[in-house]
Structure formats: C-alpha cells, structure tokens
Amino acid sequence: MSGKATSKGDNVTTFDINPDKFQHWDFSLNAEIATLTLAVDPVASTFGTYELKLNSYDIGVDIELANAIRHIRLTHPNVKCVVITSGLEGTFCAGANIRMLAAADHSHKINFCKYTNETRLEIEEASALSGIKFLAAVNGACSGGGYELALACDHILLVDDKSTSVSLPEVPLLGVLPGTGGLTRLTDKRHIRRDRADIFAAKAEGISGKEALDWGLVDELATPTKFDEAVARRASELAASAVRAEAEPVHLSPIEVQITEDRIDYRWVKVTLFGSHAELKVFVNADPEWLLRTALELDDVLCRLRFDYPDIGTLILRTEGSIDNATRLDSALFDSTANGISEIQLLWKKCLTRLDLTAKTLVAAIEPGSCFVGILFELALAADRIFMLDGCFEDHDNPLPAASILLTHTNFGAMPMWNELSRLSSRFWGDEEALAALSSTSNASMFAEQAAQLGLVSVTPDDLDWDDELRLFIEERSSFSADALTAMEANLRFSGPETMATKIFARLSAWQNWVFTRSNASGPLGALQRYGSGSRPEFDNRRT
C-alpha cells in the first residue's frame, strides 16, 4: 500500500488482516471447533496513546475479530463451532476502551459503534445461515461491549466463582448507551423482562452467578475447576447440532490497494476523490476470482470511506464492462456446484448491507458502458437516487450503445437488506402491482424510458443535460446539513417491517449519535472525560 488518505494524513486504517498477523486475538483450530482467545496487547492501540487495559478494545481489536470470522467462514468450511474466550486471568472483556472514546472525534465514535454492530450481526448471521455456532466462554469480568459480544453468541457459559459478573454499565458510569446492541438483544433476543432489563442496565456492578442464570442473562454456569470441561462439552454439543454446507476452502490472499491524494485503487474497484464527493466504479472482468475479490474490495473501500474520509458526503456509484460478462458472473454467484459459493453469496450480502448503512448520499449513474446487472444492480437499488442516461453520448467518435439494466433472480430476494426485504421490495413497499410488473421483466434488458416507467430509476437526462444534472444534484446535496441528510437517508432506506438489526441501526445509532455530541457524555465535565479521574461528572439533567 502506498500514498496517504486526504483527511487523516498518514493515519490510514487497515481493514484486511490475516490471522497470522493478529495482535489481540489468538486463533486456534481443533477439528470442528475453532477458539478465538482475546488477549489484547495493551500498548498496541490503533491511534493515540491510550492503553488497552483489561481486554478493552478499540477498532483494531474489532477489525481482527471481523477478519477471524471471515476466515472461518471462507477458509475453514469444516468448523462448526467457535469458542470466544479470554486469555487474561479474571477478565473476559471490559468492552470499548474509554480513553479511546474520550479521545476520538465524533465521526470515529459513531463509525466504531457501527462497525462493531456489523461484526456482532455477522456472528449471528454465520450461526443462522452458515451453520456455525458460537459459544461465549466467559471466564472473567464481562462488561459493556464485552457482554454485548457474548450476547451475539448462541450460548453464554459463565464462570461461577462468586465474583464474576456480566454488566452493561454505560448509562450509570459513562453517560452513553450500550453501543453494540446490548439493550435490543436483552429484550428481543433473550426476552429479558422489561423491568429486569431496566434494573440490569442501571446496575453498574452487574449481576453474577445464579441470579444471572435465573434472569436469562447467561445460559449456563460452571465452577472454576470444571469450567474448561464444561466449555469443551458444550462446544462439542454445539458443533454436533450445526450443519454446514460442504465446500472447499477458499484461499484469501491479501487485498491489494494503492492510495494517493485523489484515488483509492484496487484491482476491480476504483475510487476517485473530489473533495466533498467521490466516484466509486466497479469494473467487470471474466476472471474466475472476480466475484470473491470484488466483494472483498468493495467491503474494504466502504470501510475506508467511512473512517478515513468523513468529509466526503456524496458517493457516485458506477459500473463498467460487458453486460454479457456481468450476466454470467451474476449466474455464477448462484451456481451451487462452485466451491464455497454460498459463503461468497453471503460476502456480497454483507458488502451490500454495509453500503446500505453508509452515512453518505448514494447516487447511481447508469450510462453507456455500464453493466448494472443482477448483483451490480443491487448497488443502484441501494442508492438514494438513480440517474440513467437516455440514449448515447452523441459527441463521442464511437458512441457506445445506450445504457440498459437487467433484473435477475438476485434482485428478487436473494440479497435481503437488514429489514429482511429485497431492495426492490423496499423500493416499492406497499405497491404489489409494481412488483408484479417487475417480475415479468426479469432477465430482459431495459432502456431508460422503460426503466423510468417501471419506477426503477429516478431521472433520465439526455446527453446534453447528463453532466449538469449530476453536478447540480451534488452541489445541492453539499448545501444541506450533513446531520439532517444522514438522518433523512437512514429513515428512508429501510421501509417496511422492523427487525432486531434495524432497531440497532435506526434507534441505537440515531440516539448514540445524539448522545455522543452532548456535554453529559463528551463535554469537558462529562462522563467520558472524567471517567477514572476520581471526579464525578456534571450532568445537565433537563429532559428533551
């Protein structure tokens, strides 16, 4: 990797880390059982000089966890159970590092929380769709984000040593919310009674032993002398209950990226930076590795744009390549005979849901030379506006044929959003007639006029107006409040039913975004700044 990011100087975040390069997690395999042991290096912070005490984590620790899950899903198809435990005596995980949160700017705080939420949801997706069960072997104090990590697992085994507790102390101690879905999982996943959840979330010291078991906060207890035996037994039982599709291991070579002042270039994904906006283009190629590598590159660049380029407010999505190649690749994505293809489907699903949650205005630009087919048309359906050029670029010496789009099986439910609807269903929520009309057009090319009639695109400028229409839209967007746009877009992207995930990203993310700007949490006399200082925070207790 070379070059530097424009908005963070030399601080370029690395999201692709092989397990043999981990600093904070030990990854081991024993037949069908993998063990991830958290042993955070206290001096290996991602940025700044804060110390990662008591297995507390920052974004670097969670990036390693996300990579571990990815490697297990793709490169270890035999693994049926993952044990998550601690290598630090007396401590499982103290959650997000408070010094890091106090020092981080607002953008990093929110993107950090969003990334950790996506990682916990991937654990649950891997359990539901990949046949991998997760066991939290809680062998020490488990608080905040540490308990939220345990909550994402299928089974929580707690050491019963008369002192170890589980807790969500954010409200009483830090003036913020549990940032990784803890409140939602208490009620929606573990069905903890509302008043008990209230008691638990207000009790900084947490709950231990039999009371934690009786309330449903954990699933099983084991004494210290029998803890390892209980973990091994439960992991074996979970592995025996899991069903994974047969597949060959997928080789994951490092993602190659070149970063300069105005570009982020991968092999098939390239981003051009223009200050307040950027263009992301996906190039289609017939290479057998295209489906895997492009999904990895897209996921990587979306993370980079979030963390390293917060000043970019609008992202223009483009594609380029052969329609025939794009169609063949879309079909190959659902070729059940291909090795590891089911996990590559899920990788694309993860990448697209990452796009849905990106706090930038998304604009699809469909023009001659584009190949918005199937899986790539999902990029357009994720956008807030879709521009499609009507006709050709007449001033070119050899004008390309007019742009077309192609709906396939992929667009009718194969890549659900976090609301468990397809992007087409979300777009046409409540309009069954429109959806029925679209199903009859599957696998048939559509040009601008028909696409507009069917409601698939927002506007269809001609050659004379194309550049001006896009420019004016970007300028208009730049004139609006970024805060208001982020909230508006997040509201409009998820229509229809609410799920645990949409609650986490809509309710939690919106409230946490607000809480982190308030003086009670982030002000000089707030809880984050005064934590551990011996001085109590000073709160503005007016309710709004």
> Is residue 353 very low, low, confident or very high in pLDDT (cuts 50, 70, 90)?
very high
Contact 422, 429 (CB under 8 A): no
Residue at 532: amino acid letter: G
Helix 323-333 and helix 341-356, axial crossing angle in degrees, nearest 10: 110
Helix 341-356 and helix 106-129, axial crossing angle in degrees, nearest 10: 150
Burial of 92 (0-12, 13-18, 19+ CB in 10 A): buried
Query: What tokens were used for 358?
Result: 């990106």
- Provide the residue ranges of all domains of the chain, joining segments of one domain with +: 19-164+220-241, 258-486
Q: What whole-number distance in Å separates Cα of residue 123 and Cα of residue 250?
A: 19
> Is residue 506 very low, low, confident or very high in pLDDT (cuts 50, 70, 90)?
confident
Which range (3-12, 477-486, 516-525, 532-541) has the least confidence?
A: 3-12
> Which pLDDT does position 384 carry in this prediction?
98
- Quick: pLDDT tens for 313-344: 999 999 999 999 999 999 999 886 555 568 99
Query: What tokens were used for 454?
Result: 């069917």
pTM of the model: 0.95
> Is residue 7 very low, low, confident or very high in pLDDT (cuts 50, 70, 90)?
very low
> Which pLDDT does position 336 carry in this prediction?
61
The structure tokens 């395999």 sit at 29
Contact 200, 217 (CB under 8 A): yes
> Which pLDDT does position 339 carry in this prediction?
54
The stretches of 93-224 forming alpha helices (DSSP H) are 98-103, 106-129, 145-151, 182-184, 194-201, 209-215
- What is the share, in percent, of the chain residues with pLDDT greater than 70? 97
Sequence-distant (≥ 6) Cβ neighbours of residue 462 within 8 angstroms: 389, 390, 391
According to CATH, the superfamily of the domain at 19-164+220-241 is 2-enoyl-CoA Hydratase; Chain A, domain 1 (3.90.226.10)
> Which pLDDT does position 338 carry in this prediction?
55
Q: What whole-number distance in Å separates Cα of residue 451 and Cα of residue 439?
A: 13
Q: What whole-number distance in Å separates Cα of residue 211 and Cα of residue 202?
A: 16
Find the Cα–Cα–Cα–Cα dihedral 57, 63, 65, 70, rounded to 10°: 170
Contact 226, 266 (CB under 8 A): no
- Is 338 or 212 the better-scoring residue by pLDDT? 212
For residue 82, how many other CB atoms are within 10 A of its CB?
28
Please state the length of the chain.
544
Q: What whole-number distance in Å separates Cα of residue 213 and Cα of residue 19?
A: 34
> Is residue 399 very low, low, confident or very high in pLDDT (cuts 50, 70, 90)?
confident
For residue 3, how many other CB atoms are within 10 A of its CB?
15
How is domain 258-486 classified at the CATH fold level?
A: 2-enoyl-CoA Hydratase; Chain A, domain 1 (3.90.226)
- What is the share, in percent, of the chain residues with pLDDT greater than 90? 89
Same fold? 19-164+220-241, 258-486: yes
Buried b (16+ CB within 10 A) or exposed e, 9-23: eeebbebbbebeebe
> Which pLDDT does position 224 carry in this prediction?
98
- Quick: pLDDT tens for 240-298: 999 998 888 999 999 999 999 999 999 999 999 998 999 999 999 999 999 999 999 99
